[in-house]
Amino acid sequence: MQCLHAMHKMSPLKGIKVIELAGLAPGPFAGLLLADFGASVLRIDRPNSISGDQLTRNKTSITLDLRSQTSLNILLRLLTTADILIDPFRPGVLERLGLSPTEALLKHNPRLIVARMTGFRRDGKYKDMAGHDINYLAVSGVLSMLGRPAEKPHAPGNILGDFAGGGAVCFQGILLALISRSHTGRGQVVEANMVDGSAYLATFPRLGRNTPAWAEARGENLLDGGCPYYDTYETKDAGRYFAVGALEPQFYAALVRGLGFEIGELPKREDRKEWPVLKEIFTRKFKEKTRAEWEAVFDGTDACATPVLEQRELQEDGYEQRPVVHLVSTPAVPIHADNGGWTGGGMLPGDGGVDTLREWVGWERGKDFEVREDGTFVVVNSKSKI
């Protein structure tokens, strides 16, 4: 099997070795971002595990039983040569395994960066509690801002907490630690949590609470669905929507023209008391044409009016998934069908791990290690060195 992390020689993180302890959502997403930009990411799976992780693009895997000293020894040997360890566990789990970052891991490898991803903060009243994305958003103050007027707060899937405030923020912390290491020569512990990450993403509305843009209740502000010219509208074909973001006067004028109105025919857009009336007018108007017909009207204009495209449509139309950012001189590994651009998954526990051990530490199966029936990698030669 060709090593996936060698696919793109000019990627910016080529040569960076990452050990990702298997988890769900934010930890694997941080690993995915690292892998997409050329890092060699080795996921550590548990024996007899059936992973539901879909974020496996460009990664490899080995299976270790971290309750076993033999497996812990293998992990410690790998960590000697690794640059980054992604820890997705609740506070205290690594310590109970004898893998305290400060007391063990950084003494074992002073250049190691230990990225610890938790949901709640590591201190405070929630630190020992279980939770999910919706809970982290709830205590961060962000969930209270999401939803329609006079309705209950609405959680936007698990995108904002797990991925934006969690995995992506953890990825940023890792990059900052790599920059710091380039100056100091030493690694460190990166502590990311989804409460602080999500709250930080909400800096703009938090600081705008006393401004016209965000001073009203949930769902009644300029950018949260309260404004009639910053909202979505159902079209004639039920279930198909159009998005409108015509905030500036010149863009609003283009929207009004496209809808077939004159500015003077409509309530004044600056008058918030008229927003419900204006919204009702737009609602009725958008239902007069299909989404495709509105596309024909607004495509190529500055009305800030676009179709709400669905994932299934994009996939069927051959929409190209791309890395999060393009670096002109050192681009990321391309995303395509063969590495799960639309489907995800595709990596079972143990996939590609034999090649990674050969590349990282020069170990050969049968000589230095073997794979048991349950998939666990075990050392067969105690003299094998890194």
Q: What is the pLDDT of residues 213-257, one digit of tens each?
A: 999 999 999 999 999 999 999 999 999 999 999 999 999 999 999
Whether residues 67 and 185 share a domain: the answer is yes
Domain count, the chain: 2
Same domain, 118 and 174: yes
Domain boundary among the residues 262, 278, 308 is at 308
- On whether the CB atoms of residues 121 and 193 are closer than 8 A, the answer is yes
Q: 3-state class of 282 per DSSP? A: helix
Instruction: Tell me if 74 is assigned to some domain.
Output: yes
Q: How confident is the model at residue 340 (pLDDT cuts 50, 70, 90)?
A: low
- The CATH number covering residue 187 comes to 3.40.50.10540
List, as one string, the DSSP characters of 85-120.
EEE-SPTTHHHHTT--IIIIIHHH-TT-EEEEEESS
Task: Give me the domain span that covers residue 13.
Answer: 1-203+324-379
Q: What are phi and psi of 21, to 5 degrees?
A: -70, 130
In a domain, 153, yes or no: yes
Give, for 275, the enclosing helix (H) or strand (E). Answer: helix 275-286
Last residue of a domain, one of 308, 342, 360: 308
Residue 248 and residue 149 in one domain: no
Domain co-membership, 293 together with 343:
no
Determine, yes or no, domain membership for 367. Answer: yes
Give me the active site residues, please. 162
Average pLDDT over the chain, rounded to an integer: 93
5 and 135 in a common domain: yes
Residue 242 counted as domain residue: yes
User: CA separation (Å) from 341 to 55, 315, 346?
Assistant: 10, 10, 11
Report the percent of the chain where pLDDT is more than 70.
95
- 380 vs 367: which has the higher pLDDT: 367
In this structure, is residue 41 part of a structural domain? yes
pLDDT of residue 142: 97
Which H/E stretch holds residue 79? Answer: helix 69-81
Domain boundary among 247, 277, 308: 308
Same domain for 364 and 268, yes or no, is no
**55-114 confidence digits (pLDDT tens):** 999 999 999 999 888 899 999 999 999 999 999 999 999 999 999 999 999 999 999 999
* Confidence (pLDDT) at 385: 62
In a domain, 317, yes or no: no
Tell whether 241 and 187 lie within a shared domain.
no
Model-level pTM? 0.92
- Where residue 289 sits, what CATH number does that domain have? 3.30.1540.10
In a domain? residue 211? no
